[in-house]
Amino acid sequence: MARYYQSKFVTGTEALVDLLLAQAELDEIHNLNTAGLVSGYRGSPLARLDQTLWQHSKQLIQANIRFQPAVNEDLAADALIGTQKVETDPDRQVNGVFGMWYGKGPGVDRSGDALKHGNAYGSSPNGGVLVIVGDDHGCVSSSMSHQSDLTMMAWSMPVLHPASVADYMSVGLWGWAASRVSGAWFGFKAISEVVESGAVRESKPFPDYNVPHVDPGPDGLHWRWPDLPGPQIEKRLAYKLKAVEEFAKLNPIDYLLAPCEHPHALLVTVGKAHKDVMEALRVGGLTPSELAQQGVAFLHIRLVYPLSPLLSELATQVSHIFIIEEKAAIVEMLLAHQLVKLQKMTNLIGKHNQLGQKLLPADVELRPSRVAVPLSGWLQQFNLFLSVPPEWSTTPIQHDATLPKRTPYFCAGCPHSTSTRLPDNSQAQPGIGCHVMATWMDRNTGNGLLPMGGEGVDWIGHAPFVNRSHVFQNLGDGTYFHSGHLAIRQSVAAGSHITYKLLFNDAVAMTGGQPLDGNITLSQIVSLMIAEGVKEVVVVTNDLDKYKDKNCLPAKVKLYERDYLEDVQKRLRDIIGVTVLIYDQACATELRRKRKRGLAPKLTRRAVINELVCEGCGDCQIQSNCLAVIPVKTPLGTKRKIDQHVCNSDLSCLKGFCPSFITVENANPRADLSKIITQTELDKIIHKLPQPTLASAEIPYEILLVGIGGTGIVTAGHLLANAAQLDGCFVSLLNFTGFAQKGGEAITHIRLCHDQDKLHQVRIDRGRANLVIAADLVAATGQNAREVMSRGSTKCILNTHETQVGTMLRSPMLDLDHPKMLDTLNQHTQVLHAIDAEIMAAHLVGDKDQTNIILMGYAWQLGKIPITLTGINNAMQELGTSADNARRAFCLGRIAAAQPDILQKHLNITPPENIKSLDDLIMHRYQFLVDYQNERYAMRYLSRIAQVQMVTQQIDAEEITQSVAENLFKLMAYKDEYEVARLYVKTGFFDKLRSQFDNTETLRFHLSLPLFNRKDPRTGQRGKKEYGSWIVPVFRFLAACKSLRGTVFDIFGYQEERKQERNLLLEYERLIDFLIEKMERNNLAICRQIAELPNQVRGFGHVKQKAMKNMMERKEILLKELQKVM
């Protein structure tokens, strides 16, 4: 039995690596001394192939297979041409070299010249080449959809389309064998839905191919030299294709699903569409044998081009043919052409019926639900009746624009959050890479995408015909190394007025943190740019210490700290010609990976927000654009905090104009051990839990995992898939990540069944999910998740913890409306179980990444996962260092489902101020004002609220009282210097800090002290400075001086900002009197809006002043509206 053809669960990229190793083993069995070479350029859906190849480097080396990553796709193809020359080289070390090229759809397009030459000049008899084409049919993670079949056909390159990961081995080995016989290179479609999936591959013996006698033509089929340019090269292509047909006749790769002696109709499925049709038949209650009994032959096609000999033969025997293929009608077109030549009058349909009416879409991916209805209609004429589920006959679910979207976003601490900012009155163009996300971040970045490597060249054709003279062009370092340097050269040659912002992040992070395919340093790029003739090169960085060696950059290249980015951009913008700004800051996510592996220094500074000081204005989020700055609900409203779990200490948040920030030096977050359940306790509880009756997997059981990219969704999916396999169950898995690793929506489809013949397509179709494990409410209510749910059968286990979306960083007051999302989820599921699994993971495991495993444990305890506990435990043992946490999390999930009360005493997450009623709120605010100033000041608050209550009680308008209670308090408790100091030293803040971190000896306070901090001449605003712990005694002194507030001795009260705050309070009190007088039942809505006006006045300094101005403008509008209804 073949070593690499064993039965096991494999992903698409693992199957491609196994294919390489299997070919080497097959050659060894046949005593062929061969080698292999694989080369290409990463890109989704083949983003992880290079990582998988590196992981298997030892086996590849032992098999004499070389992995040589390429700078770009066309150079990789050139390298593959070289492999086919070896066999005719007298200095050869091996008999031949089999080759594998890989790239996504755009890579095929840009490499057309090299691939066309390679195919035309030919493979070698003991070599052969597979061209692995990562076609993104559904535009999941590309700039546009790709179907490369027609492109390869234009080069006379044969095309193979495997239906599943399990097909990769047999189709790939067949392709290499046919390539050796025919001299052709073979296209091998690895579409997103297949290569990003995983499935169990059956164990099979190696094939024994029959070699046909083929006509080589006058010039031969294979690589030869000399072979000078001439028409003979093109003439050879027809002989190559004929040789492929002959090989396919002797070694059929296409097959009938069931014997059919006298067919009168033929159902044809091509590639991955075969699995969609098989599932439609299974769900509809028909089998291939039943079709055959009614004279309908069922043929599965994997050889797309040239036309399958078996299809050609069968087509002449039938009068009805239905061809089902994804995207463009390739096989249908080829067969129709052949039938016309044969003058065969056959009723052939595919994308359209005989009347030209649309049957199957050509612009989206196929699914069982999309083929079921037209297939049912076609089969009826043969007395075959396919039952179509009701949800497949209705209009698909559309995106609900009123619900928030989990849009991909820059990772916490991402350098692009700073580097893609622009000065006012400037415009930037996006490029290929993570930085393309700036196009949906209100950064005046957009106006279309170009193919990779063309960045900025479009400005040459754009600029002469518009009034704007300059543009910034974002360019990633990976794209620069790939081909982008040529774009800069072209811009210089054309005399373009453009500034390239070269984003040097030291990793191709968009596809998973891989290194560049070569070694290039920033100093080399600088020298190359100077040599290219650009007008000026500058370097902007977050770490000037890296440049202590004065000779690391040419003398003429200026170096700036990133705080000066805006000034630098303005200066470069005014230089006529091509300028280059290199922004140097390491990829945050890759830096995080390196820290975990000990390859980079650990964090030495951690930012912390004093939530009591925080105003919730969101300026820190606006300044940093960082997802680690998150909203947190407190008794005093929504504030901000730093999520230490995801923070990468970029520290841009410190630029927020707010005194609530401190940094803790040389500290690590401390686990809250007081809430941890001991393992002994856990074991006792688990031992007493009832064993659930597990769901059945006699027919496919379908589980969807949905959450946020980078939070372990893919890992949890692989854990479940592995557990199912170890449990003796067949399973398939499909990950849709795309940009998800950047905080977007991540979805994993898992289908499992005890009968492998019932597992077909890997994607869960409309309304077919039995279980949804939803780690994020926003993602769970998205279109992709909702469409698989069914009100009649889907059970959902939901993590209710609120996680902000990227839009909230730019709109701090945005509310996600969780009640509406919960209601939406309830409407689409049969049963909804909701728990805050993230709080449990953080407090009871110490690792928020275990949230998904807690939900999994919850679902298992309810019997909703048809995998035994033994299988799950065995799978967890393979998790390595995270195995213990995963087991603990799974147990906690089980307890939460069976005995939730046990966990509550350990969680203790109820806010200390238990505000349940309006009276509670008023008394809470009253006591706060006593501490803020004194009893007399607080009584002023109570008196005002009492006046309002006298009116609102008469007209049943308690909500107005609440609005006034909250907003009057807000204005009365304005945070002057005395109050900020008090909130640091009189509220237990430092005790809380010591409980959070293991070292609080060295603290830094980031403040803008009115008497010490001058205005920044660049911004016109008062700046912030860093102060050490010596400031704490000053805080204590100031807190003790609060009685000076509002007196002639209040030196801080003479500031303009303090005067404005006191005036605003007086103005609001007059507004309250006005509302008391004018309030009626018919104007309560507007009155409440007026009462809540101060809620938008947040922040400090210029941030607060801007909010005050906006509030006053809004007040005038509302007062006019009130007049209309009075």
Q: What CATH code is carried by the domain that includes residue 388?
A: 3.40.50.920
Is there a domain that residue 406 lies in?
no
- pLDDT of res. 418: 95
In terms of domains, do 1106 and 1013 share one?
Answer: yes
CA 777 to chain centre: 16
Query: 965 in helix, strand or coil?
Result: helix
In terms of domains, do 231 and 263 share one?
Answer: no
In terms of domains, do 320 and 431 share one?
Answer: no
* Mean pLDDT for the stretch of residues 102-115: 95
- pLDDT of res. 176: 99
Residue for token digits 């050269």? Answer: 489
Distance separating alpha carbons of residues 151 and 156, to the nearest angstrom: 9
pLDDT(512) > 60:
no
CA 905 to chain centre: 36
Residue-wise pLDDT tens digits, 941-985: 999 999 999 999 999 899 999 999 999 999 999 999 999 999 999
Out of 907, 941, 969, a domain closes at 907
Query: Residue 602: how many CB atoms within 10 A of its CB?
Result: 10
In terms of domains, do 424 and 554 share one?
Answer: yes
Question: Which pair of tokens denotes residue 488?
Answer: 């800069």
Residue-wise pLDDT tens digits, 434-479: 899 999 999 999 888 889 999 999 999 999 999 999 999 999 999 9
Distance separating alpha carbons of residues 736 and 705, to the nearest angstrom: 10
Beta bridge partners of 268: 299, 323
- pLDDT of res. 911: 45
In terms of domains, do 831 and 952 share one?
Answer: no
- pLDDT of res. 678: 80
What residues contact 898, with CB distance under 8 A and at least 6 apart?
689, 690, 861
| Helices 883-898/851-861 angle, 10° precision | 50
- pLDDT of res. 910: 45
What residues contact 878, with CB distance under 8 A and at least 6 apart?
722
Residue-wise pLDDT tens digits, 16-70: 999 999 999 999 999 999 999 999 998 767 878 999 999 999 999 999 999 999 9
CA 635 to chain centre: 34
Out of 671, 702, 723, a domain closes at 671
* CATH at 180: 3.40.50.970
In terms of domains, do 44 and 167 share one?
Answer: yes
Beta bridge partners of 66: 37
Query: 772 in helix, strand or coil?
Result: strand
In terms of domains, do 628 and 650 share one?
Answer: yes
CA distances from 575 to 503, 526, 535, 603, 1102 (A): 20, 18, 8, 39, 32
pLDDT(740) > 70:
no
Residue-wise pLDDT tens digits, 343-385: 888 999 999 999 999 999 999 999 999 999 999 999 999 999 9
Is there a domain that residue 348 lies in?
yes
Domain, as residue range, for 125: 8-250
What is the average pLDDT score of the chain? Answer: 93
Query: Residue 1024: how many CB atoms within 10 A of its CB?
Result: 21
- pLDDT of res. 122: 96
- pLDDT of res. 596: 84
In terms of domains, do 529 and 652 share one?
Answer: no
- pLDDT of res. 513: 58
Of 308, 301, 277, 302, residue with least CA distance to 379: 277
pLDDT(1020) > 80:
no
* Mean pLDDT for the stretch of residues 578-603: 90
What residues contact 727, with CB distance under 8 A and at least 6 apart?
867, 868, 870, 871
- pLDDT of res. 510: 57
Residue-wise pLDDT tens digits, 701-718: 999 999 998 889 999 999
Is there a domain that residue 409 lies in?
no
Is there a domain that residue 596 lies in?
no
Question: Which pair of tokens denotes residue 908?
Answer: 């203790």
- pLDDT of res. 914: 60
CA distances from 38 to 49, 57, 363, 739 (A): 11, 12, 32, 26
pLDDT(321) > 70:
yes
Of 473, 462, 472, residue with least CA distance to 432: 473
Find the range with the poorest average confidence among 80-84, 223-227, 1089-1093.
223-227
- pLDDT of res. 398: 83
Out of 560, 586, 612, a domain closes at 586
In terms of domains, do 809 and 744 share one?
Answer: yes
Range list of H helices, 327-483: 330-342, 368-380, 390-393, 416-419, 458-462, 477-479
pLDDT(202) > 70:
yes
Query: Residue 340: how many CB atoms within 10 A of its CB?
Result: 11
- pLDDT of res. 601: 86
Question: Which pair of tokens denotes residue 1120?
Answer: 């006019």
Q: What percent of the chain has pLDDT over 70?
A: 97
- pLDDT of res. 514: 63
Is there a domain that residue 543 lies in?
yes
266 confidence band (pLDDT: 50, 70, 90): very high
pLDDT(888) > 90:
yes
- pLDDT of res. 811: 86
- pLDDT of res. 912: 46
In terms of domains, do 660 and 696 share one?
Answer: no
Is there a domain that residue 2 lies in?
no
Environment class of 198 (CB within 10 Å of its CB; exposed 0-12, middle 13-18, buried 19+) = buried
- pLDDT of res. 765: 97
Is there a domain that residue 433 lies in?
yes
How many domains is the chain built from? 6
Environment class of 580 (CB within 10 Å of its CB; exposed 0-12, middle 13-18, buried 19+) = buried
1015 confidence band (pLDDT: 50, 70, 90): confident
In terms of domains, do 955 and 863 share one?
Answer: no
In terms of domains, do 940 and 817 share one?
Answer: no
- pLDDT of res. 130: 99
Residue-wise pLDDT tens digits, 111-164: 999 999 999 999 999 999 999 999 999 988 788 899 999 999 999 999 999 999
Q: One-letter amino acid identity for 898?
A: A
- pLDDT of res. 5: 67
Q: How many helices (H) and strands (E) does the chain have?
A: 44, 32
* Mean pLDDT for the stretch of residues 1069-1094: 94
Is there a domain that residue 880 lies in?
yes
Environment class of 669 (CB within 10 Å of its CB; exposed 0-12, middle 13-18, buried 19+) = middle
